[in-house]
Amino acid sequence: MSKTGSVTKTASRSARGSGRDEGRVSRITDAYEKAKDAYAAFGVDTGKAVKAALDLPVSVQCWQGDDVTGFEGADGITGGGILATGNYPGRARNGDELRADAEFAFSLIPGKKRFNLHMLYAEPEGKARPGRDELEPEHFKKWMDWSKKKKIPLDFNPSFFSHPLAARGYTLASADSAVRKFWIRHGAASRRIASAFGENQGSPAVNDIWIPDGSKDMPADRLSPRKRLRDALDEILSGSLPPKTITDAVECKLFGIGSEAYVVGSHEFYMGYAAAKRIKLCLDTGHFHPTETIADKISAMLLFVSGLLIHFSRGLRWDSDHVAVFSDEMRDACREARRTGALDRIDFSLDYFDASINRIAAWAIGARSLRKALLEAMLEPTALLVDAEKKEKYHRRLALMEELKTMPFGAVWDKLCLDGGVPPGADWLDLVDGYEESVLLKRK
Ligand code: RNT
Ligand code: ZN
């Protein structure tokens, strides 16, 4: 490349990337002012909506940064139905790289962020690595220090997969009591670590229990594993920890790789369990039948569980973990979440892992999409819709819903990006290219 070419490229990168190019900013501001009037005609205050959307925390999943590998020396070997496919260069290989990548990704994602860790990402000192049932908060000291310094609260997950004791397909529901007890100790340890995160950050860390247990083919006994899972969960959750430090959640699933015929922790199982225990239920958008979406479940479940954790993912044929996008499902779920008026009981998070594209872009695509969907939800003139409904003017309700789809939403989104201090539009892509060149491609 010629010298001039490279200089021009760099200059345009930084101007577009920063979003501070004056012409660009004033074009965005002009478009926003017009959009503001258009929304005001429906009684919507765009300024308030932008602020409210920026204020909702989005929990970003650490595992997109390294293909759910973790730091146990597994080197890309996963199991228990967790399978990242693809071979894009630049995977984070240790905690420092993962933290650096996450920080860079955060600079592209507007609004409040949290970071979601798994037990696999412990960084114990010394040679002998403690077993997964022996891990303690001290093994996450680097994460906690980073979290405090960067003001990024942490969430957590026990890891019931990619482990020899998960190889037979059953963990907490295992008929082998030694296996089951190991995983019960693991689950209990994860809660103590999450609670330490909560203490450190001054707000609860969500600890989400998902297990892969299930059967490839039709089981003859569906009940016994479910009884064992119920009892194991009871044991794990019996440890009393200050509620201001930890929020317990359980995650259901329809099927996984190797558990096509039967999943112990199915939707009905955890729906019942979370309701009985008054804990949070995790709804992962990739964990239901292909035409089944989660939006309608939100208001139903909120009546019976303490709250919801939503994992935004994207099911595609056999996979439940494609990068989340601004889909009808995501938009419907965010709208429904807001309409319930219970946003304080709902945690928004991302759960996918794609190793075939730039991993930082994967983070940014999902998180920006989710923030967009939250903004769109905040911009809805819900009172108008409800009013039409109350008056049984259903044509009016439907017509308004249709009109709202073509509002100048993009202009408000760009303004949100500026207010959130991140690049508007597609400007962030050049920054990703720069980071790929200078950091990711140097990793061998
Ligand atoms: C798996 C669940 C679970 C995991 C993460 C890594 O199907 O969705 O949430 O994806 O914990
Ligand atoms: Zn999930």
C-alpha 211 to ligand 1 mean position (Å)? 8
**Whether the CB of 284 sits within 6 Å of ligand 1:** yes
**Whether the CB of 207 sits within 6 Å of ligand 1:** no
CA dist 23 and 14 (Å) reads 14
Residue 156 — φ and ψ, nearest 5°? -150, 160
C-alpha 149 to ligand 1 mean position (Å)? 27
CA atoms within 13 A of residue 123's CA, in its CB half-sphere: 15
CA dist 203 and 195 (Å) reads 9
Q: Which of 319, 332, 387, 433 is flagged as catalytic?
A: 319
Q: What is the pLDDT of residue 18?
A: 52
Q: Which of 311, 322, 372, 415 is flagged as catalytic?
A: 311
CA dist 226 and 264 (Å) reads 6
The pick from 351, 353, 354 for probing ligand 1's pocket by mutation, whose C-beta has the most ligand atoms within 8 angstroms, reads: 351
Q: Do 168 and 213 contact (CB within 8 A), yes or no?
A: no
Q: Which of 284, 329, 336, 347 is flagged as catalytic?
A: 284
Q: Which of 139, 163, 287, 297 is flagged as catalytic?
A: 287
Which residue's alpha carbon is at the smallest distance from atom 2 of ligand 1? Answer: 210
Domains of the chain: 10-44+379-444 (no CATH), 57-369 (3.20.20.150)
Q: Token pair of 78, please?
A: 């996963």
C-alpha 365 to ligand 1 mean position (Å)? 19
**Whether the CB of 101 sits within 6 Å of ligand 1:** no
pTM comes to: 0.95
- Burial (Cβ within 10 Å: 0-12, 13-18, ≥19) of residue 403: exposed
Q: State the pairing for strand pair 262-263/214-215.
A: antiparallel
Each residue's pLDDT tens digit in the chain (444 positions)?
Answer: 334 344 334 434 444 555 468 899 999 999 999 999 999 999 999 999 999 999 999 999 999 999 999 999 876 556 677 889 999 999 999 999 999 999 999 999 999 999 999 999 999 998 889 999 999 999 999 999 999 999 999 999 999 999 999 999 999 999 999 999 999 999 999 999 999 999 999 999 999 999 999 999 999 999 999 999 999 999 999 999 999 999 999 999 999 999 999 999 999 999 999 999 999 999 999 999 999 999 999 999 999 999 999 999 999 999 999 999 999 999 999 999 999 999 999 999 999 999 999 999 999 999 999 999 999 999 999 999 999 999 999 999 999 999 999 999 999 999 999 999 999 999 999 999 999 999 999 998
Q: State the pairing for strand pair 246-251/205-209.
A: parallel
The pick from 253, 284, 354 for probing ligand 1's pocket by mutation, whose C-beta has the most ligand atoms within 8 angstroms, reads: 284
**Whether the CB of 322 sits within 6 Å of ligand 1:** no
Closest-CA residue to 120 (of 175, 181, 170, 78): 78
Q: What is the pLDDT of residue 82?
A: 84
Tell me the H-state helices in 212-317.
223-238, 267-277, 295-302
**Whether the CB of 67 sits within 6 Å of ligand 1:** no
C-alpha 277 to ligand 1 mean position (Å)? 22
C-alpha 251 to ligand 2 mean position (Å)? 7
Q: What is the pLDDT of residue 9?
A: 44
* Ligand 1 atom with minimal separation from the 321 CA: 10
Q: Please confirm, yes or no, whether 284 is among the known catalytic residues.
A: yes
